[in-house]
Structure 1
């Protein structure tokens, strides 16, 4: 099934799902379309969440072992922050929606999805320029208008190309795009650290790199909704652990 260009058939159990994921990572291949929203996608989401948590447990254990032997690891941006509703919404809702759109929304290779992302990126660039050149309410209005225009153009692209499958050249270079997506997703999380050498920080974003491959697998095989939900669940569990740890320290 990996290497085919049709959508992924329903897999019978978690073992088959994980085997398919590892085959996908070994030889990334892009199907024509993701499976439609339904029970197979929900089951895959649950299976991949279990795998994600198992891998994260191994990586966190390695980090704890490093601390035990005296390695000084830098703190993340979450350290010292008050866990409140606003932070929870940012981490569990806003971040998954934004990051999945930017890093994996276009991984389908379908022209509507690629053009929609380009429209949003252009809107973001325009908004940044307008924010620099205007002040006060004028700046806010200009930024809002730029983003609204990007959303409208993106929606038009999605509708106009809704029946198109993945672009041929995109499928040909999909393995490269898959790895660039995972590396870009991991790299952006370097911003979670205010200090530390690259030699220390790169291993610390390995969890995000692995998560990026899992999310990409879900995205191209089951749809954008599935990787958004798994990303939200992952972030929610991490935030919950941080909140519990802070409660014990208090």
Structure 2
């Protein structure tokens, strides 16, 4: 079983392709093997990065500094997996409504940045509201369509690679100062993107969310243990 799952994972990474996920209830063994592989990978990567962090004097991430224990647990183990998996991998099946929501989310994010930078605040605020409305209307119009666009299916390997890269690089924002020495620190997220992307395509978004939550819970428990 383990060899079969690992061989399939390796083959899929060598040639990422658009597939129809099967229900998680039929793939718990695959999910368990991949979760174990993911956690083992985190241990190895964590050991390497700990040495890198000490050698290069990389500051600790500050994304969740100042939060109480219960709030931190909810944010890391519940909110982050649901939000990040939906944003970075929810659209990987190429369903038109998911691609539309992703496009609207990107535009809405740009509008919020414009507001934060005080660049045409009023227009950006109105654009943000209009984007939310367009997202809802588009979802209602496209909700019955399930076939991915041809351009998405043909370029799936590119879209998958982008989802992994953007997911990893976005976590550089966790650090107080951005520099080249911080780039290797997102290797855990790069590894996570590969594993979670595979699980999302094999057994759906719930599978990747659960793996993400378990991984975050393990990392949080280890961080709290070390800090005490």
* Residue 65 (str. 1) matches residue 51 (str. 2): yes
Deviates more, 1:165-174 or 1:76-85: 76-85
Aligned residue for 1:8? none
TM norm structure 1: 0.77
Write the mapping of 1:111-150 to structure 2, written as runs, cut at 5 A: 111-125=96-110, 133=121, 149=133
After TM superposition, give the deviation of residue 204 of structure 1 in Å. Answer: 0.8
Aligned residue for 2:136? 152
Q: Distance in 1 between matches of 2:204 and 2:220?
A: 25
CA contact (8 A) 1:116 1:153 kept: no
Write the mapping of 1:82-231 to structure 2, written as runs, cut at 5 A: 82-125=67-110, 133=121, 149=133, 152-153=136-137, 155-157=139-141, 159-161=143-145, 164-195=146-177, 197-198=179-180, 200-231=181-212
Aligned residue for 1:44? 30
Aligned residue for 1:9? none
Aligned residue for 1:7? none
Runs of 5+ in structure 2 lacking a partner?
A: none
The 1:86–1:157 alpha-carbon spacing in structure 2 relative to 1, beyond 3 Å, is farther
Deviates more, 1:114-123 or 1:45-54: 114-123
Aligned residue for 2:10? 22
CA contact (8 A) 1:219 1:226 kept: yes
TM norm structure 2: 0.83
Q: Distance in 2 between matches of 1:118 and 1:216?
A: 19
SS in 2 for 1:107: coil
The 1:79–1:122 alpha-carbon spacing in structure 2 relative to 1, beyond 3 Å, is closer
User: RMSD across aligned C-alpha pairs, in angstroms?
Assistant: 2.8
The 1:119–1:237 alpha-carbon spacing in structure 2 relative to 1, beyond 3 Å, is same
Runs of 5+ in structure 1 lacking a partner?
A: 1-12
Q: What is the count of residue pairs matched by the alignment?
A: 223
Q: After superposition, give the CA deviation of every residue in 1:132-170 in whole Å (9 maximum; x if it has no partner).
A: 647xxxx8xx89966864663364256322xx2332221
CA contact (8 A) 2:197 2:208 kept: yes
